[in-house]
Structure formats: C-alpha cells, structure tokens
C-alpha cells in the first residue's frame, strides 16, 4: 500500500537556524541527495519499516556489537544503525581531503619536533608546559624516531558542519581511533538491504580500507624485518568494548589477533606463541593504550601488554602503531593551538578551521567562559567519549553551578567552545524522516608512502531529538556515509 510517504517526509520539520544536509529550508532537496530523495519517494513506507527492522537482525546475527559493562556481567549491545545514508558530494570531499591531509601531516611533524629539537617551542608558538604536564608525554621517547618516521599510522579526524561550506575540526584522534569497522559494515549492510541504490547512485568504495591498512602498516616495518613483514593486532581481549573491531580488522587484513599473553620478548624480538613455536612480529597494530603497553616501563600492574616491548621498540626490533607518545598531540589543549601548529609546519593557512576555543588557563578567557557558561560547551582537556563536559544551553541551573565550582577550582583542566548549531541529516523513524544532528569521522592512514584517506567515514548521529551528543556510549547511532563519484 502506498501511503503516507509524503507525510513521512513532511514530518521533517526543517528549522531555519539549523543546516539540514538533505533538505534546504525552502523544502527543496540539496544536490547530493537528489537521486536518493527520488528513490526514497518511490518506496513503500511499510516496506521501508520492515527493512529497518531487518537491519538490526543482520547486525546481531553477524555479531557486530560493542560491550557495555553493567553491574555483574558484560552485555553486548548493538550500535543503532540508521538506514538513511549521509551523502557528501565529490566537490565537498575534495575540499575536506585537502584540509585533512594538511592537518595530519602537521600532527606528524609536531610529534617529530616535540620528541626531537622542539623548534615550535623555541619559536614561542606553543608553550612548553602544554606537553610537559601532559600524561601522554613520554620523556623516554625523546630523540627516538619511529620506523619510517611515522607517529600516527591511523588517525580519525572528527568533523562537524554548520552550513553548506562550513566544516570544522572538532577533535583529532591520534591514539587509537575506533569505528572504522562500522564504516565498513554499515556499507555492507546498505548494499545488502538496498542493492538498487548502488546501481542508481555512483558511490565511492570503502571496502579496500583493510587492504590499504595492511599495506600501510607493512610499509612501516622496522629494518630488522626478514622477508614479508608480519603484522599483528594487539587487543585487550574479548571484554573490551571495541573487541569486535579488533577481530574484524585482523580478520580482514589476514593478521593474527594477539593478546598480551601471546607475546613475549625472545632474542631481542617481540614474538608470538604459535603452534610451531615463537615467531617474530614486525608491526604491532596495538589497540591498547600506552600506559598498558609495557609493565616494565609504564603501569606495572598491566597484564594487557608485553614486558620488555619498549626496549625492543627503542632498539628498532618492532614497529608499534600508533607510536607510543602520540597521545600528546590529541588532547584539547593542544587542539586549541592547531591553527598555529598547521601554519608552523606547513607554511600554509589551515584549510580546515578549528572550532573557536577558549583556554580556561588564560585569565581573560576564564572570565569570559565563567560569564557565559549558559551558552558554551566546556570540556575537560583530557576527556573523551562525551563525558565530563557541560553543554550550557541544555544544562540545568544546578548543573551549571556545580560545573562552575569545578572550573574555578582547576581552570587549566578545561577548554570552552561555542555551542555550534551542528548540521542535521534525516533519520528514519516510525513516524517518518526526522532531522538529527550528525558528525563525521573520516579515517586517515599514514605511511612513508604518503597519506591515504578513505572516501567515506563514520557518521555518528544523535538519535534523541535536539541532542548534540553523538557518542555511541551515550545513545548515539551510526549511518552509512557516501562520498559521491564525480
């Protein structure tokens, strides 16, 4: 029965203040979405609803889950998937990739510099205390150059949009960005659910990401490698929230998925226990934080890491991706200096702007932030996952008062940003399409052969009406992200 499709679309409720990526304020469809919108209007509403229900089953069946820790046992949950794709035009994407490339090369240059001559500090562009006081700063990496000179083999750049041409970088994820498996599985799911869409609309492929990742990691193998580099993925284990992704990537790359207990330092190499005895690992794609990597160097209680791996690393016996110590480049205090950093290393103006950021460590900024708490988003410098932050406009008076005390007690622990009116993209609900705020995390690979950006990424979407928090740990969902071919 053909019914209510126009109602479905009609309930979008386009707001004039918020940029919707599919529908313009006058109700017309943006160019990138035209063909999709035509297709959508031809579909039967009941059929779409059934498809929506099928998607969940398919994720559950294939085991695409993340773990949540409850009171007594770990529970596996699905990240909600929305079947309306997020579409980016070829022109928009070209612009984004240039900006991302510039930013990622600047981050690598910054890391090399911080761990070597520290020119940027001598030049007075970035204050020294910024990284000296940072827990992610590893003094014993000073003077050491990782194989191939690469620090951030895998980077995720979080982007937000506020208008047709207004993209901003919200965050740089230079440690162990996650979510790439959702980029890949969301595409698989969409192709299985709506094959005809992909014959009608030319969409760039994402499926070669694992092959590119394997090649990129192998290109960073240490000099000691004999023959074809052996790559392994180090996971904290099946109870880690991102375990599915670790297993997925290892599987797709044809690499072993190892835990700390599988590895041991033997004859100056990090080796894994196989059924034939110990075998050297050349490149370790670790999904374990620095502090758990080596109980001899960092947290002595860690059983997730490998005793002695840092000695092997320093002696050139293994490549660790991302390099230990990269975390210093992705906290929010460093973020506020990114425009200066990009300019310092590339000699160019940044192509992708930062979101305006007040460093509460500065007295003037702090005063401004305290005076305007109700309009700002205040974040912890080292926080992540959407925790420990204040969203002024949606916070209660009590929450703001409580936050004010925390901020006054330790101003340098916070930065503040204006509340952006993030763009929206429609999601499919039982009542029809409805606009929800989105962000975008493209995935970037760095090797001595250059920087590769997969055309697509992870679109996270806040499923609650009006909500700006897209994190999956707080009720966010994901969408397939399409980059259109020219």
Judged by CB under 8 A, the number of residues near another protein is 23
Residue with tokens 């580099």: 229
Q: Of 199 and 275, which has the nearer Cβ to another protein? A: 275
Crossing angle (nearest 10°) for helices 45-62 and 180-193: 130
Q: Does 261 bind another protein (CB under 8 A)?
A: yes
Is residue 243 close enough to count as binding another protein by CB under 8 A? yes
Q: Nearer to another protein by C-beta: 3 or 68?
A: 68
Nearer to another protein, 258 or 329 (CB): 258
- How many whole angstroms separate alpha carbon 170 and alpha carbon 189? 28
DSSP 284-304: EEE-S-HHHH-TTTS-TT--S
For another protein, the closer CB: 3 or 238: 238
SS3 label, residue 137: coil
| Residue 262 in contact with another protein, rule: CB under 8 A | yes
Per-position x/- string for 2-31, each x denoting binding to another protein as judged by CB under 8 A, each - no binding: ------------------------------
Per CB under 8 A, contacts with another protein among 47-66 are 60-63
Neighbouring CB atoms inside 10 A of 266's CB total 16
What's the min distance (Å) between Cβ of 192 and another protein?
A: 13
Binding of another protein by 251 (CB under 8 A): yes
Asked if 250 interacts with another protein (CB under 8 A), we say yes
The full DSSP string for 168-198 is EEEEEE-S----HHHHHHHHHHHHHH-HHHH
| From candidates 133, 205, 208, 274, binder to another protein by CB under 8 A | 274
| 469 CB neighbour count, 10 Å cutoff | 19
Here the tokens at position 178 are: 């996650």
Binding to another protein by residue 273, rule CB under 8 A?
A: yes
State the minimum distance, in angstroms, from the CB of residue 250 to another protein.
5
**Options 199, 267, 275, 396; binder of another protein; rule CB under 8 A:** 275
Which listed range, 16-24, 258-266, 292-300, 408-416, lies at the site for another protein (CB under 8 A)? Answer: 258-266
* Nearest C-alpha neighbor of 439 from the set 454, 419, 418, 425: 425
**Can residue 288 be called a binding residue for another protein (CB under 8 A)?**
no
CB 67 within 8 A of CB 76: yes
How far is it, in rounded angstroms, from Cα 395 to Cα 375? 10
CA angle 78, 80, 85 (to 5 degrees): 135
State the nearest-atom distance from the C-beta of 276 to another protein, in Å: 6
Contact residues toward another protein (CB under 8 A) are 60-63, 238, 243, 247-248, 250-251, 255-259, 261-262, 272-277
């Amino acid at each position: 029965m053909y019914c209510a499709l126009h109602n479905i679309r009609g309930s979008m409720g386009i707001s004039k203040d918020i940029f919707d990526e599919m529908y313009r304020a006058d109700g017309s469809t943006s160019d990138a979405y035209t063909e999709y919108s035509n297709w959508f209007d031809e579909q039967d509403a009941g059929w779409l609803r059934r498809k929506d229900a099928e998607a969940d089953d398919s994720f559950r069946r294939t085991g695409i889950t993340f773990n949540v820790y409850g009171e007594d046992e770990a529970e596996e949950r699905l990240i909600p998937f929305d079947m309306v794709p997020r579409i980016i035009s070829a022109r928009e994407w070209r612009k984004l990739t240039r900006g991302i490339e510039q930013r990622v090369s600047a981050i690598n240059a910054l890391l090399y510099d911080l761990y070597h001559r520290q020119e940027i500090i001598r030049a007075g562009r970035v204050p020294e205390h910024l990284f000296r006081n940072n827990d992610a700063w590893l003094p014993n990496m000073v003077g050491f150059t990782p194989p191939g000179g690469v620090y951030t083999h895998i980077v995720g750049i979080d982007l937000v949009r506020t208008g047709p041409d207004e993209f901003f970088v919200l965050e740089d994820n230079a440690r162990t960005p996650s979510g790439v498996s959702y980029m890949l599985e969301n595409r698989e799911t969409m192709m299985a659910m709506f094959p005809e869409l992909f014959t009608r609309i030319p969409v760039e492929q994402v499926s070669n990401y694992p092959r590119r990742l394997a090649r990129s990691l192998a290109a960073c193998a240490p000099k000691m490698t004999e023959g074809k580099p052996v790559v392994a993925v180090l996971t904290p284990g099946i109870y880690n929230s991102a375990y599915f992704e670790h297993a997925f990537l290892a599987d797709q790359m044809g690499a072993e998925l190892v835990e700390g207990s599988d590895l041991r330092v033997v004859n100056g190499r990090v080796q894994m226990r196989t059924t034939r005895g110990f075998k050297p690992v050349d490149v370790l794609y670790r999904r374990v934080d620095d502090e758990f990597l080596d109980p001899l160097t960092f947290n002595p209680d860690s059983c997730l890491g490998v005793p002695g791996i840092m000695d092997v690393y320093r002696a050139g016996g293994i490549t660790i991706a991302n390099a230990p110590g990269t975390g210093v480049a992705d906290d929010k205090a460093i973020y506020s200096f990114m425009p200066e950093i990009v300019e310092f290393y590339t000699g160019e103006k940044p192509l992708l702007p930062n979101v305006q950021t007040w460093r509460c460590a500065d007295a003037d900024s702090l005063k401004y932030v305290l005076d305007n708490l109700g309009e700002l988003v205040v974040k912890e410098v080292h926080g992540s996952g959407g925790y420990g932050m204040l969203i002024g406009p949606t916070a209660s008076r009590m929450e703001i008062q409580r936050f004010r005390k925390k901020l006054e007690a330790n101003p340098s622990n916070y930065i503040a940003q204006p509340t952006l009116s993030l763009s929206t993209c429609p999601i499919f609900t039982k009542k029809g399409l409805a606009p929800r705020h989105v962000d975008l995390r493209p995935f970037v690979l760095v090797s001595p052969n250059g920087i590769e950006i997969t055309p697509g990424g992870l679109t996270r979407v806040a499923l609650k009406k009006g909500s700006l928090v897209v994190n999956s740990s707080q009720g966010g969902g994901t969408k397939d992200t399409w980059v259109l071919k020219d």
